[in-house]
A and B are shown apart, each in its own frame.
Chain A
Amino acid sequence: SGLGMFSTIICGFLSPLVVKRLPEHVQVDDPAVVKRLAKKLERQQIPLRSDYGYKVSLFSHLHQYSRKAPLTQLLSIPSTVIHPSIVRLGLQYSQGIVAGSNARSVALLHAFKQVIRDYTTPPNEELSRDLVNKLKPYISFLNQCRPLSASMGNAIKYIKKEISNIPSQCKEEEAKTKLLKCIDRYIEEKIVLAAKAISKYAIEKISDGDVILVYGCSSLVNHILCEAFEKSRKFRVIVVDSRPRLEGREALRRLVQRGISCTYVLISALSYILPEVSKVFLGAHALLANGYVMSRVGTSQIALVARTFNVPVLVCCETYKFCERVQTDSFVSNELDDPDDLMVTRKGKTQLENWQDVSSLGLLNLVYDVTPPDFVDLVITDLGMIPCTSVPVVLRVKNLDQ
Chain B
Amino acid sequence: MEASPQLVEYFRTQMRTDPDMASAVAAIRTLLEFLRRDKGETILGLRESLKWATDCLTEVDSSVAVSSGGELFLRFISLTSLEHQDLSRCKKVMEERGELFLEKISLSRTKVAKLCHTFIKDGAKILTHSSSRVVLRVLEKAAAEKKRFTVYVTESQPDTAGKQMADALRRLNVPVTVVLDAAVGYVLEKVDLVIVGAEGVVESGGIINKIGTYQMAVCSKAHNKPFYVVAESFKFVRLYPLNQQDVPDRFKYKADTLRTVSDLSDEHPMIDYTPPSLITLLFTDLGVLTPSAVSDELIKLYL
User: Could you say which residues of chain A place their CB within 8 Å of the CB of B299?
Assistant: 386, 390, 393-394, 397
Given contacts A2-B104, A3-B76, A3-B104, contact A312 B242 (CB under 8 A): yes
Given contacts A3-B233, A3-B301, contact A389 B100 (CB under 8 A): no
A378 at the interface (CB under 8 A from B): yes
- Among A205, A374, A393, max chain B CB count under 10 A is at A393
- In the bound complex, what is the Cα–Cα distance between A22 and B233 (angstroms)? 43
Contact with B along A196-237 (1 / 0, CB 8 A): 000000000101000000000000000000000000000000
User: Could you say which residues of chain A place their CB within 8 Å of the CB of B292?
Assistant: 387, 389-390
B70 at the interface (CB under 8 A from A): no
Shortest A205–chain B CB gap in Å is: 7
* A interface size (C-beta, 8 A): 24
- Chain A residue nearest to B234 in the complex (CB): A3
User: Could you say which residues of chain B place their CB within 8 Å of the CB of A314?
Assistant: 242
- Chain B residue nearest to A279 in the complex (CB): B242
User: Could you say which residues of chain B place their CB within 8 Å of the CB of A6?
Assistant: 300-301
A1 touches B97 (CB 8 A): yes
A350 at the interface (CB under 8 A from B): no
Given contacts A6-B301, A205-B242, contact A386 B104 (CB under 8 A): no
- Chain B residue nearest to A310 in the complex (CB): B243
User: Could you say which residues of chain B place their CB within 8 Å of the CB of A383?
Assistant: 303
A385 at the interface (CB under 8 A from B): yes
User: Could you say which residues of chain B place their CB within 8 Å of the CB of A2?
Assistant: 100-101, 104
- In the bound complex, what is the Cα–Cα distance between A383 and B238 (angstroms)? 13
B203 at the interface (CB under 8 A from A): yes
B205 at the interface (CB under 8 A from A): yes
Given contacts A2-B104, A377-B242, A393-B295, contact A387 B300 (CB under 8 A): no
- In the bound complex, what is the Cα–Cα distance between A40 and B224 (angstroms)? 57
Contact with A along B104-130 (1 / 0, CB 8 A): 100000000000000000000000000
User: Could you say which residues of chain B place their CB within 8 Å of the CB of A8?
Assistant: 300
A312 touches B243 (CB 8 A): yes
User: Could you say which residues of chain A place their CB within 8 Å of the CB of B286?
Assistant: 3
A7 at the interface (CB under 8 A from B): yes
Q: Of residues 189 to 242 in B, which have CB atoms within 8 Å of A's CB atoms?
A: 203-205, 233, 240, 242
User: Could you say which residues of chain B place their CB within 8 Å of the CB of A377?
Assistant: 204, 242
Contact with A along B290-303 (1 / 0, CB 8 A): 00100110011101
Shortest B165–chain A CB gap in Å is: 29
Q: Apart from A1-B97, A205-B242, A393-B295, what 9 extra A-B contacts exist at CB < 8 Å?
A: A3-B76, A383-B303, A385-B203, A387-B276, A387-B292, A387-B295, A390-B299, A393-B296, A394-B299
Residues of B within 8 A of A (CB): 76, 97, 100-101, 104, 203-205, 233, 240, 242-243, 245-246, 276-277, 286, 292, 295-296, 299-301, 303
